[in-house]
Structure 1
Amino acid sequence: MTKVSDPRTVTLDTIDFGPVTIDEPAWCIGHGWQVGQGIGRNDITHNSVRVKASADTFSYGVQSLMRTWMSWAPFVELVPRVVVELDLSAEYEAEEVTHIAGVLRTAAVRLEKVAAEAIRLRGDVL
């Protein structure tokens, strides 16, 4: 069960500590995905919105290249971390690779922005 006590506090049922009430950072998207999962206190994780990058290719259509988001398990980690998932493994026409390279440059900027936000938030967490 999840219960929002006020806009910045959430209570989650855990298998090892029972109901645990924690402060929820403003950037957290909520904990609905953790409800009913039999989580322990160390599994409680705040996640931000996922930032994505995809490339439209002639050979395979839209291909996901990257997903990234901030994540923080407050009982395990001192500060938010950045999750990075990279995809793509196929053979492409040379012209498609030029397009994919441009998308990767855009993805790099997005990664840097998420990392910068995580670094900025360290002051709020510590």
Structure 2
Amino acid sequence: MNDRIVSLKTLDSGTVTVREPVWCLGHEGDPVVHLADVTHNGEWTSATVDTARGPVEFLRARLSWAPFGELQPEPYPVVEVVDVGDLNPEQLRALAAEAAVHAGRLYSLANQLDRLWRYGR
């Protein structure tokens, strides 16, 4: 891994020099108040579906890591999934498997809806 070295200003620890993972988008504009607030975030990824109201994103997820967190220490990066939480590799695999199963349920519902549209309620 070719991590970068960055210097960040904090109120409790002054200017700190930390390793920044290559996947981190940087810290410009991040309000780092305490060392525990330093969080490395990657790029968001999501699924998108077109609806009558326009495109809707769901299952937004990104790599995230707060290596100095005090309340919830993160010795390793996690994946932050909006409306789900921070997941370790096994939890993320379980989410992906459930999403795949649920996709089958949604497809079945689409077939049922199609029959209702074609043949009435």
Q: Which range, TM-score by smaller chain?
A: 0.5 to 0.7
Are 2:65 and 1:69 aligned? no
Paired AA for residue 64 in structure 2: S
1:20-76 deviation line (CA, Å, top 9, x unaligned): 100111111111131xx252000001111111211001x222112121001101112
- 1:44 aligned to 14, 35, 38, which one? 38
- 1:10-29 → structure 2 map (5 Å cutoff): 10-29=6-25
Instruction: Classify the secondary structure of the residue corresponding to 2:81.
Output: strand
TM-score with structure 1 length normalisation? Answer: 0.57
RMSD across aligned positions (CA): 2.2
CA distance 1:18–1:74, shift in 2 (3 Å): same
Identity %: 41
Structure 1 unpaired stretches of 5+: 1-6, 87-103, 109-126
Give the number of aligned pairs.
Answer: 81
- 1:1-126 → structure 2 map (5 Å cutoff): 8-34=4-30, 37-57=31-51, 59-76=52-69, 77-86=74-83, 105=100
Paired AA for residue 53 in structure 2: Y
Between the aligned partners of 1:54 and 1:39, the Cα distance in structure 2 is 34
Q: Which structure would you say has the larger Rg? A: 2
CA distance 1:14–1:26, shift in 2 (3 Å): same
